[in-house]
Structure formats: C-alpha cells, structure tokens
Amino acid sequence: MITTCIFDAYGTLFDVASAARAVGDQRADFAPHWVRVATTWRLKQLQYTWLRRITNQHKDFWTVTQDGLDFALEESGLDDTELRDVLLALYWKLAAYNEVPSMLGALKSAGYNTGILSNGSPDMLDGAVKSADLGGVLDAVISVEDIKVYKPDMAVYQLVLDRFNCDAEQVLFVSSNGWDVAGSSAFGFNTLWVNRAGDPMDRLDNKPRWVADDLTGIPALLEGLK
C-alpha cells in the first residue's frame, strides 16, 4: 500500500521556465530570447548534474544553475549582467504549477506522507517552498546535498526510505523528468511521469507505472488503489 508521496521539485512542482517568462513579459529586448534561454538553461543545468556525477566533481545545484544560465545567455549573445542577476533572483521564487497547492493539500488530508526529493540545494528549495507557501503541506524537503550525489544515483532515492522509515513499494515518486522516473522505477518506487509537454517516452529500461498530463489526478488515483 502506498503511504508516502514524493515529488521532484524543478519542472514537477515548480515551473522552471517561469523566471525567464516573467522577464520576457517585462523587457521587450528579452522577449524574443526568453524561450531559447529558458530551454537551454534547463538543459545545461541537467547535463551538468549528470556530468558532475559521473566525473565525481560535485558542486551544489546553485552553482550548476548559474553555470547553465551563463551558457544559455552566451549562446543567445546576451552579455547583460543586470539581466543575469534578475533571472537568478527569480529562480529562488519560481511559480508552482496551479494545481500543486490543492493536490498536496488533498494528499495530506487523506493521510499520506508528502515530500520533495530534489537535486536542489537546501537554501534554494527553502526559498521555492516558502515563495509558493507549500510548507504546510510538505512533511520533508530532501536535498541531494545530504550525500553530495545527484539523481539518478540509487543512493539519492534511498534518502526517502531513510527519512520516512518505509519500503520502496510504499512510495509513489512523481517527476516530470523521464530519466528520473527511470531511475526511481529501477530503485523500486511506484512512479508517475507528469508529461506536461506530451513528449515521447524515453528509451530506457524502466518505465513509469502511470503517466499524467499534470498533477491534478494523483489524490483520486491513490484513492482508487485502496
């Protein structure tokens, strides 16, 4: 029986494009660039976590986030220190997807443990959770900085079992990242891939148990398993 619902943070609960989108709405000079910058920023951010994992050259997620943005801005020919500072400041206050507060509230009301498992550094996650006012509906916010290894290393998923004193089959793990779903599925979690963009399934051995367009239906899904 599932007792514990764990969510990836960036791209799953929090809209990673919201910082660049907000600046694009405010600055006409950035409007033509924000989509490309947001896309490349996220891609390089993820790539750097994987490369740092396999080369054993760990740096915290805030450093990786800055490095990814610097690459994205240079790629778009944007040498603008003020723009960089604004984008980074907004990353600490990323918007949560609309359905997140009510979905987490419903899970808590139904008696489930709830938490975040993220590559994000603790201070970044604290800022995002406070900005979205989610502290009251989360039992734990778990960062890889506890062990300084990025997902999808199996040691990261073990942090959930250690924190909640549960078995892997009691966990529903939700992520918007196919590679994260594959890793957590291999670990033994029940997994849900939130595929907001309608992307193809990743060609990896381990598949999600469920796929959804957003997070709205998770409480009803779990209720149906009882």
Any idea which residues carry the catalytic annotation? Answer: 8
Question: Helix 18-26 to helix 81-91 angle, to the nearest 10 degrees?
Answer: 130
Phi, psi torsion values for 89, nearest 5 degrees: -65, -40
Both tokens of 84, joined, read 């960089």
DSSP secondary structure of 80-139: -HHHHHHHHHHHTTPPBPTTHHHHHHHHHHTT-EEEEEESS-HHHHHHHHHHTT-GGG-S
d(CA 142, CA 35): 30
In terms of Cβ atoms closer than 10 Å to its own Cβ (0-12, 13-18, 19+), residue 68 is buried
